[in-house]
Structure 1
């Protein structure tokens, strides 16, 4: 298994940012270069003693790592047929080996001579001694081919890093000097910088920075934005301390042996947890066909048990809130949100991105009116910035948004403890009982639902949320 994954590099970078510690060197080209930068004494002094430079360094190196890994994946995809060919060569018959070994060695010599592939040895073995029929020798040749292939890819990585590193280092030196000077000259607060920079994808220019900064500064006018962001980030705020479950591991368990294990009712085809009404259908000859149909379509009513749900083992402590799961933000982009409401929403999104980056936490945006637009905002920052240039329009229908939200919640056990936030004026027709029932089921399973209501419209959704914050914004009417 390949040790040098994206997570490996990010973990090394995270450790360096926290402690200043890293290895001296390594044989893998990208990691070796990363270590050489981190061990540079000038870089280390700037990064470990200045949080602005630390932020610039971290994001710049993350972008460089991603760029090189994407290029590596592309190169491997291009050579996929050759890798498959290595396995096919192992399956050649003795007859095919006898007729094909010379052409194969010629081909390998042309490509891999400088990477240590010894074609002369195998030419002697196969030609003079006829050992192409010896499976061990034949397999050894393919192993040497694979090793030469690996070395060739490694050299290609080194050359590509060499081509890019000068530009990277020049840009980083320039940013270390120019960005702090710009912030000081224009009296930009650090929090404004961190939020705005987080959306710039590691590329500095003052035009984009000021455009995003205007969005960030809306938080001064509407302090509720930070209250909502802090709640989503599980940061203790004016509401005081929260009594929270502290994760300590994943287990199946009941809260207490003497308590009822039933959490609610769901649908599925688990025959061990059928409601009594479904058992009656099963036992009735006239209703048996209906029972079979509901079983095949996963529409049987089942009890939902706490012990069936994978939950973190917990102990309760009264302490400042801590992060638990990903954030899912459902943003209303219908026509009623045009103007100031959408700017308020964008400002909250920028703050949530900064929190998600800081807490290493997934954050998904589901923009909805009638259709939906899902965005993984930590991975698709450019797309998010482009989204900020769009204008809200159309009617509002929560049905598709709810289905996309439930699909995310069901996709991975880590989403069970997610925080869901709706940003809307809540002029949204209440959805079907089936969909609203699912919201309650997820809340019972420790998914938190919060809302930011922009405006003073009547809100039918309040019973389905842990809390809905409100900005009493009244639009300016133009005549």
Structure 2
């Protein structure tokens, strides 16, 4: 396990211009500039993705690139620094021997020790450790460069794939919205095949041919705004607050050691160079290069700044909209037009969820149930799996409803909309389930039913806040198609 001092050395190197240069190089890649030139939203998403990558790779560079041999060498170096002058004289040859075959510093260490054996310089320990530290810093820097090159290549491949998928999604959806670019970029982590594109276009065309389905979806989306609950109201407002922030300029605590030219924070060991005229020049060189070992100080500073806050207001305010939970009947009786309508409806609600920054979870149910998180990390792949799923089996609504209600009882699903899309050819649900739904209704969660059959059970649909029926006749479907 690495000591805090070793981690400090790795962090110090990771904070150098090497990482900043890598980010600048990525942002200036001609291939990325060409790919994103036609899409401002894609360009913004790429820049945000690279900045996020920078923070993640910085942590990995501080630890991942340090090999086992380098870890052992760092431990030996720390032992050497902590020894007294006499202990170092006795053990330096044994320590150098341990570096044989494991470190490029071995030969230089032997040469320095042999030369000191003739002169017995009292400052030899400090001089030796300084040379060793320079070697360690250079070794870690080279390892970080190699690791950084690997991460850059991996990131570029990911960016090219995401940009391609992102543009395809924009093209398929046929309209753009700046509010949706972030979610679309997250969904673009999955690669789209030609079959996926054809499938998406088919359901978009289905929605155009059946505008009533799109209108139902739009009404569902607007209902979250009609909730009269002050705890869900939020109004962006700026106010001045004293904010406490960590600052390296406030000397409250010592949090580590780094290299700088701050004489007032210098480690006492650095003054040893001044005790010997032959080594005094090293001290001034370190000072000029800002490489004196100094204490890193950190404390809390209070600054007055404008802070955005969401708070209730008397004027019209924005309502915090909850997720969409969509339960889709996948039984055999839904085959054909009802199946197409149910999938198109779910896609329309996903589109609204993206534009309103809402989560969207779809649960398919027949005799069993399976859930897809459309707005998660694998959202696009999950959406494709859902749209390509074939409906079959019987109808068992109760397990799917219980699963959805379990979610709605958690903090994440406050003010959620549960939408059940089915032909509702099923028995009435048990009383305990109806009571759970009633409790959630009192907490401003909404329950909707979209009936795709004229044979649906009326008593089953009584437990919903709103019911829509969409079951056009065969003649109407033919007319729409042609």
TM-score norm. by structure 1 comes to 0.54
Name the CA distance, whole Å, in 2 between partners of 1:314 and 1:416. 17
Question: Offset at 1:341?
Answer: 0.9
CA contact under 8 A between 2:23 and 2:50: conserved in structure 1?
no
CA contact under 8 A between 2:32 and 2:160: conserved in structure 1?
no
Q: Which residue of 2 aligns with 1:465?
A: 464
Q: Which residue of 1 aligns with 2:412?
A: 414
The answer to whether residue 177 in structure 2 is matched with residue 190 in structure 1 is no
Residues 370 and 204 of structure 1: is their aligned pair in 2 closer, same or farther, counting only changes over 3 Å? closer
SS in 1 for 2:472: coil
Q: Which residue of 1 aligns with 2:150?
A: 159
How big is the alpha-carbon RMSD for the aligned residues of Structure 1 and Structure 2? 5.9
Question: Offset at 1:449?
Answer: 1.8
The answer to whether residue 325 in structure 2 is matched with residue 328 in structure 1 is yes
CA contact under 8 A between 1:330 and 1:420: conserved in structure 2?
yes
Q: Which residue of 2 aligns with 1:271?
A: none
Structure 1 residues 80-138: Cα deviation after superposition (integer angstroms, max 9, x where no partner): 997xx99xx89x9x9xx99x97798568748xx8xxxx99789999xx99xxxxxxxx9
Gaps in structure 2 of 5+ consecutive residues: 1-16, 84-90, 121-128, 237-309, 476-482
Larger Rg computed on CA atoms: 2
Structure 1 residues 354-399: Cα deviation after superposition (integer angstroms, max 9, x where no partner): 3333333221111111211111112332232133222211111122
Pick one of 339, 342, 350 that aligns with 1:342.
339
CA contact under 8 A between 1:462 and 1:468: conserved in structure 2?
yes
Question: Offset at 1:344?
Answer: 1.0
Q: Which residue of 2 aligns with 1:27?
A: 19
Question: Offset at 1:343?
Answer: 0.7
Name the CA distance, whole Å, in 1 between partners of 2:424 and 2:206. 21
SS in 2 for 1:374: strand
Name the CA distance, whole Å, in 2 between partners of 1:375 and 1:38. 37
Name the CA distance, whole Å, in 2 between partners of 1:122 and 1:231. 80
Name the CA distance, whole Å, in 2 between partners of 1:205 and 1:445. 42
What are the equivalent positions in structure 2 for 1:32-431 lying under 5 Å apart?
32=24, 35-36=27-28, 46-47=37-38, 53-54=39-40, 109=103, 152=143, 155-162=146-153, 165=156, 190-191=174-175, 203=191, 208-234=196-222, 246-247=233-234, 314-315=312-313, 324-378=321-375, 379-380=377-378, 381-411=380-410, 413-431=411-429
CA contact under 8 A between 1:224 and 1:470: conserved in structure 2?
no
SS in 1 for 2:325: strand
SS in 1 for 2:357: coil
Residues 32 and 428 of structure 1: is their aligned pair in 2 closer, same or farther, counting only changes over 3 Å? farther
Residues 433 and 192 of structure 1: is their aligned pair in 2 closer, same or farther, counting only changes over 3 Å? same
CA contact under 8 A between 1:233 and 1:323: conserved in structure 2?
no
Pick one of 431, 438, 441 that aligns with 2:439.
441
CA contact under 8 A between 1:63 and 1:202: conserved in structure 2?
no
SS in 2 for 1:364: strand
SS in 2 for 1:330: strand
Matched length: 356
Residues 152 and 78 of structure 1: is their aligned pair in 2 closer, same or farther, counting only changes over 3 Å? closer
Name the CA distance, whole Å, in 2 between partners of 1:104 and 1:415. 59
- Of structures 1 and 2, the one scoring higher in RCO (CA 8 A, sep 6+) is 2
Gaps in structure 1 of 5+ consecutive residues: 1-24, 48-52, 130-137, 250-311
TM-score norm. by structure 2 comes to 0.54
CA contact under 8 A between 2:398 and 2:429: conserved in structure 1?
yes
CA contact under 8 A between 1:224 and 1:469: conserved in structure 2?
no
